[in-house]
Amino acid sequence: MAQQSVSLYQRTGIEWLRDFLRGIGSFLKLIASNRVGLLGFIMVIFFIVLSTVGPRFVPLDTKTKVTQIYVPPSREHPLGTDHQGRDIWSQIVHGGKDILYVAFLTGLISTFIGVVLGSLSAIIGGGFDSLMTTLADIWLTIPQFPLLAVLAGFIRLDSLSLLALILAVLSWAGLFRAVRAQVFSLKERDYVEAARALDLGLRHIVFSEILPNMMSYIAISFTFAMTSAIYAQTSLVFLGLVPISTSNWGVMISLAWTRGAIFSKDSIYYIMSPIMAIALLQLALVWMGRSLEAVFNPRLRAGG
């Protein structure tokens, strides 16, 4: 009997993998059902491929060529050249990796924190819940960017992973609130009640009953966490608060800015290329996220 109940309620590795793949499948289907969302999804994929595979094919141009300063786009230089005559396209190809890395890591950590704290708060309830909600409310009123800027004044944010960790910790409150609300509505459902009546334990209830039903919702939060991480890190670089070590899009804007390139008419491609890259990546992520939101929230769907 005991043997049987275990096989009933504990999934094997293969079953787990199958459920996982099925989750991804339904995720893709939901995205494809919305044209804007699909476009966003394709653009995101494009940026990921560009930044991970691209550098293998396009070598980074680091040579200063005095004769080729601010050359307009041509076959040789698709986006023209910068203030030192270096190819801008190669810088764009190489400049996305760091940004995407920080964005993904921030998304992962902050989603993890949000999901863990949010579900714990909703499940435990009582004093812990009201303490956490009050704390989250307070945290949300602290302006994040000034806090981040002040922090950058104290800590040398030269490690990408550290930057991602800080960004994630700072953004816990919004996700916490959203996840908590979700879990609150999910835990009243019959199948959770049933699992509780069977005394299957907190871990089982969270990981096998509640989390799988929130997967798509978590995916939305993930994309939004990514957009705010991209915003925060590129702005910090732009303000010169993060030491410039490698070349990324934020560094490119910052360099174009400090070299006064913004005020020279010839340099339009130099300043516009990283700006368009960041803006398009942000737009793609938001489109993807918002279309997911529309799919899950019928109230929004009604509006088209």
Partner 1 sequence: MGVPSALRSPKSASVGTARLIRRIVSNYLLRRLLKALFTVFFVTTLIFFLIRLMPSNPIEVYINELIVQYGFSYEDARNQAASLFAIDLDAPMAVQYLDFLRHLSRGDLGNSLRSPGTTVLSVIAKFLPWTLFSVGTGLLLSFTLGVSLGMLMAYKRESSLEPVLAGIGSFLSSVPNYIIGILLLVFLGVRWELVPIGQMRGSMTPGIKPSLTLEFISDIFFHAALPIATYVLTTVGGWMLTMKSSTISTLGEDYVTVARARGLPETRITTAYVGRNAALPLFTQLAISIGFIVGGSILIEQIFVYQGIGYQLLVAISNRDYPVMQGIFLIITASVIASNFLADFLYSRLDPRVRIVGRE
Among the listed ranges 103-111, 178-186, 214-222, 285-293, the one in contact with partner 1 (CB under 8 A) is 285-293
CA atoms of 278 and 227, how far apart (whole Å): 10
Dihedrals phi, psi of 244, to nearest 5 degrees: -85, 115
Residue 87, beta-bridge partner list: 81
| Residue 13 or 153 having the CB closest to partner 1 | 153
- In one-letter notation, the amino acid at residue 148 is L
| Residue 12 or 141 having the CB closest to partner 1 | 141
Using CB under 8 A, pick the residue from 13, 14, 143, 199 that binds partner 1.
143
User: How many Cα atoms occupy the beta-carbon half-sphere of 218 within 13 Å?
Assistant: 21
Within 17-76, which residues bind partner 1 (CB under 8 A)?
none
Smallest distance, partner 1 to C-beta of residue 160, A: 18
Do you know the residue count of the chain? Answer: 304
| Residue 179 or 192 having the CB closest to partner 1 | 179
| Residue 28 or 138 having the CB closest to partner 1 | 138
- C-alpha 78, offset from chain centre: 29
Smallest distance, partner 1 to C-beta of residue 262, A: 6
Using CB under 8 A, pick the residue from 15, 137, 158, 193 that binds partner 1.
137
Smallest distance, partner 1 to C-beta of residue 155, A: 7
SS3 state of residue 81: strand
SS3 state of residue 124: helix
| Residue 148 or 195 having the CB closest to partner 1 | 148
CA atoms of 288 and 44, how far apart (whole Å): 8
| Surface-to-core class of residue 209, CB atoms within 10 Å of its CB (0-12 exposed, 13-18 middle, 19+ buried) | buried
Smallest distance, partner 1 to C-beta of residue 135, A: 9
| Residue 83 or 204 having the CB closest to partner 1 | 83
| Residue 105 or 236 having the CB closest to partner 1 | 236
Is 41:285 a contact under the CB 8 Å cutoff? no
Q: Residues 253-272: x/- map of binding to partner 1 (CB under 8 A)?
A: x---x----xxxx--x--xx
The verdict on 12 binding partner 1 (CB under 8 A) reads: no
| Surface-to-core class of residue 204, CB atoms within 10 Å of its CB (0-12 exposed, 13-18 middle, 19+ buried) | middle
| Residue 17 or 169 having the CB closest to partner 1 | 169
SS3 state of residue 8: helix
Within 149-188, which residues bind partner 1 (CB under 8 A)?
149-155, 174
Smallest distance, partner 1 to C-beta of residue 28, A: 22
Is 285:40 a contact under the CB 8 Å cutoff? yes
End-to-end CA distance of the chain: 52
Q: Which pair of tokens denotes residue 192? A: 């959770």
Residues that bind partner 1 (CB under 8 A): 134, 137-138, 140-147, 149-155, 174, 227, 230-231, 234-235, 238-241, 253, 257, 262-265, 268, 271-272, 275, 278-279, 282-283, 285-287, 290, 299-300, 302-304
